[in-house]
Amino acid sequence: MSKQAEFAVILKMNPMFADLGADELQRISGLCHTQQLGVGEMLFQKGDPGDALYGVRRGQIRIETGASDGSRLTLNFMGPGDLFGEVAVLDGQSRTADATAGEPSELFVLRREDFLAFLEREPKVAIKIMMLLCQRIRWQSERMEESVLQPLPVRLARRLCALATDFGSEVHISQEQLGVFVGAARESVNRQLQLWRKDGILDLQRGRILLQNMTKLTAVARNE
């Protein structure tokens, strides 16, 4: 499979591009190029212009920000098949966080100027993108409502299940970072993880969580 075909598959998996046809995705993927990053190398910093959309071909990208005590907080992990920077490629506004390679990585890169020129030539595709963005806004509103109404165990289980989908049963994340993800204090996260540890759902090690019983964890995520 060519690199352009691989990028088309990644685009297809993203809600913003999911309803585009194969020919439209192929034309968009033909605009991309690839970029290599070494471990620890920064892709962009907070405040940099949003001039591109990225797809992870291999490796891992950490989306990070600075904490009030001077430490670093990982807001998200991007692994193979993940797409990020969709909004920036449209509005060109400043990046809201840093992006750093957690391991040697290769990225697909779609430059904003190339994508906007394509949309000007393809107004029907531009209209589809607008509709898909509206769907995404509705989805995010539902997730915000969920974060307020669902109890911590459900929110925490859903986040761990999502991380497991991308990175397997060994999740490298701190309890403080998990707290940022689910909107809870580290102490509350720790209490819940310790309960799950006693139940054999997971095990805790320094800087990582070993998921041992995905069936039980998934049941909690579904609020069953």
CB atoms within 10 A of CB 200: 10
What's the rounded Cα separation, in Å, for the pair 14 and 25?
11
Tokens 């992990």 correspond to what residue?
Answer: 77
The Cα 58–Cα 68 span in angstroms is 32
Residue 84 bridge partners (DSSP): 54
Question: For the residues of 85-133, what is the DSSP string, one character each?
Answer: -TTHHHH-PBPSSEEEEEEEEEEEEEEHHHHHHHHHH-HHHHHHHHHHH
DSSP 40-66: T-EEE-TTSB--EEEEEEEEEEEEEEE
pLDDT of residue 172: 81
| Residue spans of the chain under pLDDT 50 | none
Q: In whole angstroms, what is the distance from residue 178 CA to residue 90 CA? A: 29
Residue 212 · residue 169 · CB < 8 Å: yes
Mention the CATH class of domain 152-222: mainly alpha
Spatial CA neighbour of 63 closest among 33, 30, 88: 88
* CA–CA separation, 130 and 19 (whole Å): 12
Fold of 3-143: Jelly Rolls (2.60.120)
Q: Which tens digit of pLDDT belongs to each residue from 110-123?
A: 999 999 999 999 88
Q: Where are the domains of the chain?
A: 3-143, 152-222
The predicted pLDDT at position 173 comes to 82
In angstroms, rounded to a whole number, what is the distance separating the alpha carbons of residues 75 and 97?
9
Q: For residues 32 and 108, what is the distance between their CA atoms, to the nearest angstrom?
A: 6
Q: Are 109 and 32 in contact (CB under 8 A)?
A: yes
- Contact (Cβ atoms closer than 8 angstroms) between residue 83 and residue 136: no
- For 3-26, write each residue's pLDDT tens digit: 888 999 998 888 778 888 899 899
Number of helical (H) and strand (E) elements in the chain, helices listed first = 9, 9
